Structure 1
Amino acid sequence: MAKFLSSGFWENVASIILRNKLLILILVIATTVFLGKQWTHMRFTYTEANLLPDDHEVNLEYNTFLDKFGEEGNLIVIGIKNDSLFTPQVLNAWNSLSEKIDQYAEVTLSISLKDLKLLDKQENPARFDLKSFIPDSVTTKKQASDYRKQLFNDLPFYENLIYNKETGTVRSAIYLDKSIVNTPARRDFIVNDLIPLISNFEATSGIKVRTSGMPYIRTLNSQNIIDEIGLFVGAALLVTSLIFFFFFRSYRATFISMITVIIGVMWAFGFLGLLRYEITVLTALIPPLIIVIGIPNCIFLINKYQHEYKMHGNKVKALQRVITKVGNATLMTNITTASGFATFILTESSLLKEFGVVASINIVGIFLLSLLIIPIIYSYMPPPKEKHLKHLGKNWIEGFVNWMERMVRNHRIAIYVVSIILLTASMIGINQIRISGSLIEDMPKKTAFFKDIKFFEEEFDGIMPLEILIDTKRKKGVLKLATLRRMDELSQVIEEQPELSKPVSIVNLVKYTKQAFYNGAPKYYQLPSSNERNFILPYTSSFSEQTNLMGAYVDSTGQYARITTFMKDIGTDKMERAEENLRAKIKTLFPEDRYEVTLTGKALVFQKGTNYLVNNLVISLSLAILLIAIFMAWMFRSFKMILVSLIPNLLPLLVTAGMMGFIGIPIKPSTILVFSIAFGISVDDTIHFLAKYRQELRASKWKIKKSVYASLRETGVSMFYTSIVLFFGFSVFMISSFGGTVALGGLVSATLLFAMLANLLLLPSLLLSLEHNIANKNTLKEPALQIITELNEEQEIENDPSKEDHTH
């Protein structure tokens, strides 16, 4: 490793790069073409992000449920809240819409006014026949009015499933084929068939139709994510290129940097396809992340090239020094950043592992691209003109550097006081931070489908499924009257909770059979007694053969039953309290020796996954901090340097977490990467500063103050450029329609400013204040790694790998 990072090694690297320019460019182009072809294997996930390991208890319970009853997130609902529905013309059009939807192969069952089945008691032989609620077209207003009255007054079985008695809202339930729910066929049906049918009904009837359900929400939300990936990668490139040009005033420097990061983004998509990973809520962040890492590389390399050329006017020597000096330090910064993301590979979550793999590979990839493309392209171009170097001596940049030096020289106490105040305030804010396990919190609030989610929450108490799986431990145990009564009592507890909708289970159907037995009188919609059950059973035998409703809520053996309810978009705290209340009641109602009851469903799995992700974030971030702390100690052969290097990097993270608490931004999958990104970037700045500081120490014969100020002046400009470009680059994400993307962009932008100031003010202040204890000749005399090589200029010219003239 030491040999790998020695000055001789980097001289050889410079020689190889500058002697084999054309070959390397061909290899870069060939690799880009190869990875570009892998784009065909990219696919977007058609399921919610599963944040849990495959063998996690919650996942195993959910998979057990799926084995018994299949995919539960296959329900789409369409609803109308309009008094004119029960008029002949509109009612017939609504029924016609349901008939058209039902004809598609992707739909296995639809329950609408047209499809409603009534249990009709027959005596000879004893049976229940199923007859249609609306058998024919409606021709008169009286017919329509009678249907409305019958629905709202005589059919409690369908209450909160098809209608809301209080508001008059009516909806249809569309159950998709479970085999297509997590495939592209789901999107094709919803986008190409269902939405046009609904739009046509709205156009002809003039009535607004509300549409929701997890398959519908996931489809439109995924489409928004797809649209915004391209939008924000393009916008980030545009903004960063404009800011980059403002600083460097060079079209070619801007163009070269943009080409480099664009190729890096292409590689990122290519690796996703090559590894056959799905684009998920986390991996979708990798392309803009590559811009985040790539732009600093370009800034440091180009700034160093122009700085070197301005000093001695030799283009080839400047390019060689870019590779030998900045290349080494840039490698270290990228390795530490990649290592931080690679810690996610150590988790047991496949989602986190995939993110860690792709992010770390591409961070190393963008380093290689920067190191290869920038020197090679500049070697083919004429030397920088005076106008390209003007930015190095701009008055306002010089003023900024002078301000930093004055602060560090004369106001270190003020810097420490401000840091302590920020730390104290952050601790208060961190105590107010919350965790969000909501499936829909990040969805764009201004879209029609989000407004429809809120509509169904108000009218039918939610659309996110929560399932209760009951194992009676014996065949046909579900239909035992004792089991049904326990299920009914649990259903009443669910109904009393404001966060949950009225549950649906076999209990509803059994109650309806008793009502039908008593000729449809609504007051008999209740569980039968033991004696009544004996009278009713002969009627249900034929009925069970005519309907598949029972199969949806009881398995074929009669051992397993499900109770389905739906949740509102509630906070994690309320969800946990609701879960706790249900588990307490379940424990009371269902003895463990006779029943095994499991709470599951997508909403619960997602909430548990978010908690798991937060715990893994703490572990991964701790591992990253430990790894980089060890690296710093090894690099400088001084564990004391850990204090100096980590304090300016941890403070911005704490300030960011405190901001999240004060502003009310929760910890969730979309904001959880803020800390990893911020830590990686701030550590990069620290390494660049300390590397330059070590170089200046040796050059000045261990004059610490002189070395600190010299390091501040040279690296300060690059850090400032980097932070400003990244600040505006991430700020672009704040125009997103997704709350999580807005929060990510805003928080990272703010954190980058804190990190820049911490590394330019707090870090040099600590070096100066602790110079006799930490930053002295004894502790820094012999580093394990030589980050910046000290090359003899005459030796550089003698070993110059290029054949070009050196007299530029």
Structure 2
Amino acid sequence: MKNFWHNLALSILKYRLYYLSAVIALAIFMTVMAAKTQVSSELPKILPQSDERFQLYESFKKRFGEDGSVMVIGVETNKMFQLAFFQQWQDLAKAIKTVKGIKDVVYAGNIPRVEKNDSLKRFITKSLIAQRATSQVEVDAVKAKLDKLPFYKGFIINETGNVHLMMITFDQSAINDKSRVEAVQKIKKIAGEFETSQNTELHLSGMPFIRTEMTAQITNELGIFLILAIVVTSLILLAFFRSFKIMLVALVVVLIGIVSALGIIVMFGFKISIISGLIPPLVVVIGVPNAIFIVNKYYEEYALHGNQELALKVTIEKIGQTLVLSNLTTAIGFGVFAFTGSIFLIEFGIVAAINVMLTYAVSLILIPVIFSFLAPPANKHTIRLESGKISKFLLGIDHWVNHRRSVIYLVIILIIGVSVYGTTKIKSIGYIVDDLTKDNPIYTDLKFIEKNFKGIMPFEVAIDTYEPGRVMNSPELLTKIKRMEKEFAKYPEFTKPVSLVTAAKFIYQGYRGGDPKYFVLPGINELAKLKEYNASLSGKQNFAKGFIDSTKRYTRVSFQIADCGTVRTNQIIRELQPKIDSIFNYNAETNEFYKKGDKKGYDAEITGNSVIYAWQNDYLQGNLVESTLQAIFLICIIMALLFRSWKMVFISTLPSLIPLLITAGLMGYFDIHLKYSTILIFSIAFGISSDGTIYFLTRYKDELLNKNRTVKQAVTATILNTGVSMFYTAIVLFTGFFIFTASTFKGTQSLGILISITLLMAMICNLILLPAFLMTLNKRESKKLFM
């Protein structure tokens, strides 16, 4: 292996023009590929395709379409049924209806009501008003008709009558396409013009709107973070090295890493998602430490003998070995996401892991090659390694390691105890919009809608009757759906249901002349009478067409639920599903419980957009915990292969595990919830923090064995030499991740704060605790561990 690195160093310097050309060709190719990147408009697919819950939801969408396809506009006003305002509300609906990708717009004026036609023996659905109102009398008539339709109370108009909704249904072909984004932007513009003309505030919400706006905000922020990461790390490099050359060289490396990340995304046929969009700024933060270690080693070697070529050769040979292992641990921290089974994380893990190693290769080749063309380092640059506040700081650490180890161990034990207690306070919960700040318009508008209409998150019950046509030929099905709806009504989080029962109630009310008291489910005899009027209706007249599939085997019951959090949602699911099973599969007369598939019963399963989100959150947490453990295990294997001692594995792993424990404790104390956006921290941070351990131990091994120093001398030399680079990289990593705290999303803020703290704690542990462990061992034990 030593010959490999020696030969590689000679090859890079001897054929530097060829290597430089290869890097330039790579950069050009990746830039061309990066130009083809596309942003994903689809919901992230987190559950694996083999998951039964995922399959249920996908089957549901194939039969009935996307359930999260309705956007709403709410307005609080007492002028709705004044002619001028009502006309403008109608005009707003008409303008939105013309937007490409919009299937339907429903508001107080065009909601359907059912009338019977005795001469034709059929039911007809009509809008409350067929055209734009021209007089107050027409508007008053609309209000009078609306008052006789109890279903719409709490659905299209709130209980107190001062808040109204406009419901905008997106075409199924547009809901997961970029045309959805364009449609939402046009609707926002139209709504803004309405607000200005009427001096009234509108509240926009619904899944299409939330998805579009959150994606847009995150995408914009990622671009800002990328620029900030480049600027901040460049300024830090300039402050550390006092050299524009070094800053520019490092900048070239990370720019190649950025375009490579985007190019790899395209090469794999992926699109940029919310999480993969983090990779470019991460490349900057993670790539710069490579440059720091290479430059510092180059300066250090040149200061020893003044031979530039030899300094570059030794740098490639020595740092190449160390960096390949440290970058490998970082790649593992990302790469373990590829084993989660979630497409959402698999893409992120693959691209990030490949890009980490590619950036390492570019750094190892490009930096020495560029410096080989430049003048040797000036004295002021090499002297900088031996003086200054950093050296005093490192000498202080060396003193504590040599003379205060018992204090170090005591403090660590106390920190571990406090952190363990903090981890007991961690809550595992996620909300669809909990990453938003309380003053974000998306959040405030959603809460406005929830306050007046309970919720807008789709919550569905998919019912399989097992036989084609059974939906329409089973009166008992309506009774069972009604019983189930009563169970749902006990939960304040749900809106009114929409189902076949709702359609039957509307038809019966129409049959009874529109009297509101007949908005009830009729008995079996009454249902028979309704059939004489072709109660099923057809085409656009079919009020229930969205709730029965083409074979009339499947039906659905649709609710909307508040964004009450994954814990509460899962609790509701656990409580309701057994009740649903009992309603649809239990025969009280025979005391018989039908098994799944028995055609005497039905298969009724909870699903829907909000349900899938709750399941996905739990799935991710479980899998990301496993991923963190996998990262720890794999990195321990690398340590074992590197040092061939399980005792050394313990010594090398503990300084990286303690920062994770501290981070978990802080999450508990500061009420930062455990969810997919925060649990990502652990495997990523462990992979990066292990870099410092490898830097330190490989240098210590060289000092102890190759230079035949005592343990004390080897530890001191390692602290003073490697400590400079470790300090620089820790500052770059801390600052680079800390820029994410500028985000308007709390999850991104938490990511930045927690990873920054974790990596800072990792540096402290690697510079203080790790050498303290090594000092505790005698020279014979230390040599034995490294042999």
TM-score of the pair, normalised by structure 1 = 0.93
Amino acid at match of 1:87: Q
Correspondence 1:553-702 to 2 at 5 A? 553-591=547-585, 592=594, 593=598, 594-701=601-708
Alignment of 1:41-190 (within 5 A): 41-141=36-136, 143-151=138-146, 153-190=147-184
Does 1:416 pair with 2:422? no
Deviations 1:165-209 (A, max 9, x none): 225211111111101111111112222x32222122222222222
1:776 aligns to what?
Answer: 782
Single out whichever of 121-130 and 512-521 deviates more from structure 2.
Answer: 121-130
How far does residue 729 in structure 1 lie from its aligned partner after superposition? Answer: 1.1
Q: Offset of 1:769 from its aligned partner?
A: 1.4
Whether 1:329 and 2:322 are equivalent positions in the alignment is: yes
After TM superposition, give the deviation of residue 436 of structure 1 in Å: 2.9
Determine the structure 2 residue equivalent to 1:407: 400
Displacement of 1:445 in angstroms is 4.3
> What is the total number of aligned residue pairs between the two structures?
773
Matched, 1:533 2:533: no
- SS of corresponding position for 2:80: helix
Corresponding position of 2:591: none
- Give the Cα–Cα distance (whole angstroms) in 1 for the partners of residues 32 and 83 of structure 2: 57
CA distance in 2, matches of 1:700, 1:220: 60
User: How do residues 194-593 of structure 1 correspond to structure 2 at under 5 angstroms?
Assistant: 194-443=187-436, 445-479=438-472, 480-541=474-535, 543-591=537-585, 592=594, 593=598
| Aligned mates of 2:240, 2:184 — CA distance in 1 | 48
Report what 1:742 is aligned to.
749
Q: Distance in 2 between matches of 1:520 and 1:257?
A: 76
Name the SS for the 1:77 alignment partner.
strand
Measure the CA separation in 1 of the matches of 2:489 and 2:41.
31
Q: Which residue type is aligned with residue 651 of structure 2?
A: V
- 1:321 offset after TM fit, Å? 1.4
Could you tell me how far apart the structure 1 residues matched to 2:656 and 2:536 are? 72
Q: Deviations over 1:359-388 (max 9, x none)?
A: 111011110111011111111111222333
Q: 1:779 to 1:197 in 2, by over 3 A?
A: closer
Write the distance in 2 (CA, Å) between the matches of 1:77 and 1:87: 22
| Cα-to-partner distance string for 1:378-403 (whole Å, 9 max, x where unaligned) | 11111222333343133311210111
User: CA contact under 8 A between 2:536 and 2:542: conserved in structure 1?
Assistant: no
Of residues 475-484 and 229-238 in structure 1, the stretch that sits farther from structure 2 once superposed is 475-484
Contact 2:83 2:135 in 1 (8 A): yes
**Which amino acid in structure 2 is aligned with residue 756 of structure 1?**
M
Conservation of the 8 A alpha-carbon contact between 1:613 and 1:669? yes
CA distance 1:545–1:341, change in 2 (3 Å) = closer
DSSP 3-state at the match of 1:671: helix
Secondary structure, aligned partner of 2:489: helix
1:776 maps to amino acid: S
Q: Is the 1:51–1:349 Cα contact (8 Å) retained in structure 2? A: yes
Residues in 1 aligned to 2:189 and 2:627: alpha-carbon distance in whole angstroms: 46
Displacement, 1:257? 1.1
Give the Cα–Cα distance (whole angstroms) in 2 for the partners of residues 700 and 260 of structure 1: 33
Deviation at 1:341, TM superposition (A): 2.5
Deviation at residue 270 of structure 1 after TM alignment: 0.8
Judged with a 3 Å threshold, the aligned counterparts in structure 2 of structure 1 residues 160 and 378 are, in CA distance, closer, same or farther, namely: same
Q: 1:127, 1:542 within 8 Å by CA — same for their partners in 2?
A: no
Whether the 8 Å CA contact 1:441–1:569 is kept in 2: the answer is no
Residue number in structure 1 paired with 2:590: none
Alpha-carbon deviations, 1:700-755, whole Å to 9, x = none? 53511211111111111111111011111111110111111111000011001110
Structure 1 residues 221-252: Cα deviation after superposition (integer angstroms, max 9, x where no partner): 11112211111011011111112221111111
Higher relative contact order (CA 8 A, sep 6+): 1
CA distance in 1, matches of 2:169, 2:443: 20
- Which residue of structure 1 lines up, in the alignment, with residue 9 of structure 2? 14
Amino acid at match of 2:272: I
Task: Name structure 2 gaps, 5 residues minimum.
Answer: 586-593
Q: Distance in 2 between matches of 1:506 and 1:281?
A: 38
* Partner in structure 2 of residue 796 of structure 1: none
**How far did 1:478 drift?**
2.8
Alignment correspondent of 1:35 = 30
Following TM superposition, by how much is the alpha carbon of 1:40 offset from its aligned partner in structure 2, in angstroms?
Answer: 3.8
Following the alignment from structure 2 to structure 1, what is the Cα–Cα distance between the partners of residues 370 and 12?
11
Which deviates the most, 747-756 or 335-344? 335-344
Percentage identity across aligned positions?
37
2:777 matches 1:762: no
Give the whole-Å Cα distance in 1 for the aligned partners of 2:490 and 2:282: 46
Q: 1: distance between equivalents of 2:243 and 2:84? A: 68
CA distance in 2 between counterparts of 1:142 and 1:478 reads 42
Inter-partner Cα distance in structure 1 for 2:225 and 2:389: 31
- Point out where structure 1 has 5 or more consecutive residues left out of the alignment: 782-808
Task: Give the drift of 1:272.
Answer: 0.5
User: Partner of 1:86: helix, strand, or coil?
Assistant: coil
Instruction: State the one-letter code of the partner of 2:660.
Output: L
CA distance in 1, matches of 2:783, 2:211: 60
SS of 2:156's equivalent in the other structure is: coil
Letter in 2 for 1:618: V
Match of 2:588 in 1: none
Provide Cα deviations, 1:69-90, integer angstroms capped at 9, x if missing partner: 1221211111211112221111
Structure 1 residues 394 and 751: alpha-carbon distance in aligned structure 2, compared to 1, 3 A threshold: same
Q: AA paired with 2:315? A: V
Tell whether the 8 Å contact from 1:42 to 1:276 is kept in structure 2 after alignment.
no
Q: Per the alignment, in what secondary structure is the counterpart of residue 85 of structure 1?
A: coil
> Matched residues in 2 for 1:250 and 1:554: separation?
71
- Distance in 1 of aligned mates of 2:277 and 2:707: 47
